[in-house]
Structure 1
């Protein structure tokens, strides 16, 4: 199938649910803007051409459907530009943009069943078929040329058919084409049946293009879901080890459970189920982040208190405060609190802050301004 115009459809970056790199998004948005402008001009040209035919009403539904699909794409593009915010989109916004690119559209006329990526492919297919119908209108070409075009379209449909139902549908079209060809060879008037067949072949090809695109998208989403599930399963033992260490080394540790990824099961086969499965995986991922932060925070603070205490001791040695018995006692208290296992982090923080106060430089002036 020839492209609908000189501007090729853009290649969508990233995948659903990930923060797409800003450079990739910028390239994609610019390419999609060019594509949208080119296809709009093509739509206007085809609309004008259809109204100049002998039977413009025969093309009205196809033109309206193509324009509706283009408008749905334009609306999603405008939303992408809004979230992009002239390049100020952060990681959360760029993840939202991945959902806008790979998630389903929210317009009518069937566009809600496809993603933006699939809608671009479908819109191009609609334009190709509309152009073919206009080019092979009975007033513009003879029956032999129209039959050749139908045969070529059926061959493309046969290549696209991926299951028994689709192959049966294409087989029925092939049988009708052969019957019409036989009648035409005998000199019969096949203008009416041929016109009906052209419409059905174009519709079938469009449906098969959407089906193939959806299958590819589903396969990609299932692969992404499997990769995310495997990554979470690999992370789970680390979180269990972190939780055990925190319970062993810290007084009053958090009381959070580590989710069991295996309970989610395998990646489901259908698109709606995959969407729900990915959302559950994202929920588990957020829970993992919360668990890692909750159990890691007291351990990190304990390590920071150790480092801080040794830094304060070095400062006390430098300014001479370490010679004071009170300061040495404060250090011993803080050191014991930090090193005790399990460690009371709150108490250790208090003793370290107390030691920090004790190690401050002694004021240079005494009462009434007398120097020491």
Structure 2
């Protein structure tokens, strides 16, 4: 397949990543995303293979090989992460824990190549698409036969797109200004009839890389902005849990003897959400630790209160059974009931003692063999 045919082929759009880092993504959203991701991987691999074949068919294949290898490396990183997601997905047999793990795989960092900054899975897809687009653009021109005027027109359009992507980035604009100056010198030399084949090919490569880098940078900025909003939302939600948890802890200390000793984390001590990616990743990790600490404190303080209520219910059920089978007439059974009732009603309640006395009463309240409700 020629490069032109590759460029003309219909594209499969990269799937939109669901959820956010640290939350359990709904199973339906995960299934849709995985289906789209597998389709995207198959499509991009076929396009990269075709582009590789087109590159090898040119007179200067070595000019394109590094970019083809780099694009395939990024594709393989996405493939590896997709395999990890499918393994955790296990054909849809996922609990909340697995779905939260999958959100970490989607929004966590992916090492796309040695020495490069890790990116998230959505950013890796954007990076790969940018590389495919750049390779298509470069391979659409044969330096020996293509029209220089058309190539210069396409080059200028690439620089305009890159300038739009640069926004207020001063460093990027300086880089593009240098490329623009090279383009003007090449245009002037071509107008005088000079041979610009070599310099033009180099400039096309530099412009394509600049546009690709800016596409990735824009994607990373947008991803960072979304991640900061998500971090703000998560921090606010965790902070909103604190008052109720303080009330629960106070109630447990008041009603339960030997209550747990769990501190309720103060989310505000984490400070403001950082602006940079590395600081934000550390902040999100600390947020996750705070969430786990809040969950642990809530379980620790609610469990004894819940067990006390359950013991009261079990005692009432056993008393009803004793009344039905006549065991409530026994002084020993009545004493066991009174003792258990006192234990569960006393505040603060010794839950361990109450549990033992309720279990003892349940044993006493069982029907006797041959009696009402008993075995014969």
Q: TM-score, normalised by structure 1?
A: 0.91
Following the alignment from structure 1 to structure 2, what is the Cα–Cα distance between the partners of residues 259 and 105?
A: 31
Whole-angstrom distance in 1 between the partners of 2:356 and 2:73: 67
Q: Distance in 2 between matches of 1:53 and 1:145?
A: 19
For residue 129 of structure 2, what is the aligned residue in structure 1?
A: 124
> Could you tell me which residue of structure 1 aligns to residue 202 of structure 2?
196
Please tell me the root mean square deviation across aligned C-alpha atoms, in Å. Answer: 2.3
From 20, 24, 48, the equivalent of 1:19 is 24
Aligned residue in 2 for 1:103: 108
CA contact (8 A) 1:65 1:109 kept: no
Q: Is the 8 A contact 1:5 1:42 kept in 2?
A: no
Question: Could you tell me which residue of structure 2 aligns to residue 40 of structure 1?
Answer: 45
Residue correspondence of structure 1 range 109-148 to structure 2 within 5 A: 109=114, 113-148=118-153
Aligned twin of 2:234: 228
CA separation in 2, counterparts of 1:312 and 1:113?
62
CA displacement at 1:21 relative to structure 2: 2.2
CA contact (8 A) 2:165 2:214 kept: yes
1:172 aligns with 2:192: no
How much does 1:75 deviate? 1.9
For residues 174-201 of structure 1, what are the alpha-carbon distances to aligned partners after superposition, in whole Å with 9 as ceiling and x for unaligned? 3332333334334343333322221111
With 308-317 and 104-113 compared, the bigger mean Cα shift is at 104-113
The answer for unaligned runs of 5 or more in structure 1 is 366-371
Q: Residue 251 of structure 1 is aligned with which of 232, 252, 257?
A: 257
SS at the partner of 1:341?
A: coil
Aligned match of 2:94 in 89, 101, 104? 89
CA contact (8 A) 2:112 2:119 kept: no
> Is the Cα–Cα contact under 8 Å of residues 337 and 344 in structure 1 kept in the other structure?
yes
Structure 1 CA distance for aligned equivalents of residues 95 and 336 of structure 2: 46
SS at match of 1:294: helix
Shift of 1:61: 1.5
Would the alpha carbon gap of residues 157 and 4 (structure 1) be closer, same or farther in structure 2, given more than 3 Å must change? farther
- C-alpha distance after superposition, 1:105-143 (max 9, x if no partner): 234245652222111111111111111111122234211
Distance 2:222 2:365 in 1: 67
1:338 aligns with 2:371: no
1:321 counterpart = 2:337: no
**Number of paired residues?**
367
1:253-283 deviation per Cα after TM superposition (whole angstroms, max 9, x unaligned): 1112112211111111111111111111111
Evaluate the alpha carbon distance shift between residue 210 and residue 148 of structure 1 in structure 2; reply closer, same or farther with a 3 A threshold. same
* Aligned twin of 1:368: none
Partner Cα separation in structure 2 for residue 28 and residue 140 of structure 1: 43
1:260 aligns with 2:266: yes
Distance in 2 separating the partners of 1:70 and 1:86: 23
Q: Which residue of 2 aligns with 1:71?
A: 76
Aligned to 1:350: 356
The question of whether the paired residues in 2 share the 8 Å contact of 1:136 and 1:145 is answered with no
